[in-house]
Structure 1
């Protein structure tokens, strides 16, 4: 049995998965009825979710360009990779610095079956893929593929794009992220986007809460306030402009041409480990 066949045996088509739901919002085809139903239920409560997904992707690309061009980063650890789409982390980084090395991490079998697409690399650089869960930092940082691909004596960019909000308080999110950051050398960076309801109108929040109480909407993520997101970066040097809505982070698109904050309910942050 091949790895792809083994991974496909783990696919549960009856339960929605965040990566497949995200793929659906981005217009992809790697999703099932349960993912689409869940995605539509969220879209009924928050109609701008597709805009949020697209802007999240744009933030990722801006952050990688900053890290590669301005910060000189050549190593990336991308946890919660998601199903491949255009301009993945390694494609953006290696288009600027062909010697960039990237390790992707995800625990969704659908993503794993697409690993070959992610594992394409320039001759000068390298990519690897790990089947692991953010909730188990030790299994990520000790993985043989990571150790072979990344030099943990040199700076690494830890990419946590739209993944940490799937950690509830019982998952000890601050400790979990902190354990990975602690394993990285000085000069490394942490990049995060995180869901929030800070920009969502009160009536929309109340409608969503009513849908949850009625059982018509099941949430598998938790929104956090700006202060709660900023807490992940205690002890790190936050890069300007700070903890801001994703559309406000080093965005060259004119203000009038950007979607309103209420339509992009994510904070974006880039910070450096001293």
Structure 2
């Protein structure tokens, strides 16, 4: 039988995608030449990128452990999922709470095809996936309600891990997106977020990174601490508050990497 499958996802391999670039930095194989070229160009100018990406993956695990364990959350809305790798949100959550429900959201068809094949949850819990874009939060909420993947009368952990920095600053878009999503969640829900920053970089490195943005080489838009903190307006920050991700509830062997090599803010906050 010949011909293409009309239901097959349309994947443009000529354009770099954040999820596939992230996969490349983590040492994965689900990426294309355009993704690798984009990643290498960024890392050539900012050699700490790979260390920051790995630290971000580690803090995702620690935040999820806190939410499923100490905070007792049993539902997770993970937007900007990325390609499956070790310690995905549902794996970490369901180790602490086997009945935890996780809804993944991404806008890359390749991510969704891999997720459906590889991200199997525990028998007691539930794991589901929708293809949608963070820039349209209402569509995410509508799809989540239509699928009945989450119970919006009970607390939900909204996971925005290394995704908000793809929304360009200065237009209020990130703040609006976060407000729309958080407003849809009941009291007792949480927001967990990480975000790239240049706050820890020396002046010459800040200028170098700005050149990447101006040249269109990078689509990762930094925010300073104040702008990141504003995304948590009206929420109750969990200790230690807004912190460099390697310092957010570190394990017994804290990451001693130079903060300028990580350059990612992180925080978790509760909706009162």
TM-score, length-scaled by structure 1: 0.93
Counterpart of 2:176 in structure 1 is 175
Q: Which has the higher helix share?
A: 1
Shift of 1:130: 0.5
Alpha-carbon distance in structure 1 between the residues aligned to 2:34 and 2:270: 39
Deviates more, 1:115-124 or 1:37-46: 115-124
What is the number of residues matched between the two proteins? 268
RMSD over aligned CA atoms reads 1.8
Shift of 1:254: 3.5
Shift of the 6–47 alpha-carbon distance from structure 1 to 2, 3 Å rule, reads: farther
Unmatched 5+ stretches in structure 2: none
Shift of the 210–130 alpha-carbon distance from structure 1 to 2, 3 Å rule, reads: closer
Q: SS where residue 15 of structure 2 aligns?
A: coil
**Equivalence map 1:231-250=2 (5 Å):** 231-250=230-249
Q: SS where residue 143 of structure 1 aligns?
A: helix
Counterpart of 2:33 in structure 1 is 33
Shift of 1:147: 4.6
Unmatched 5+ stretches in structure 1: none
**Equivalence map 1:112-261=2 (5 Å):** 112-143=112-143, 147-168=147-168, 169-170=170-171, 172-211=173-212, 215=215, 218-255=217-254, 257-261=255-259
Alpha-carbon distance in structure 1 between the residues aligned to 2:6 and 2:157: 30
Counterpart of 1:264 in structure 2 is 262
TM-score, length-scaled by structure 2: 0.93
Counterpart of 2:103 in structure 1 is 103
The answer on whether the counterparts of 1:119 and 1:129 sit within 8 Å (CA) in structure 2 is no
Shift of the 108–233 alpha-carbon distance from structure 1 to 2, 3 Å rule, reads: same
Shift of 1:117: 3.7
Shift of the 206–7 alpha-carbon distance from structure 1 to 2, 3 Å rule, reads: farther
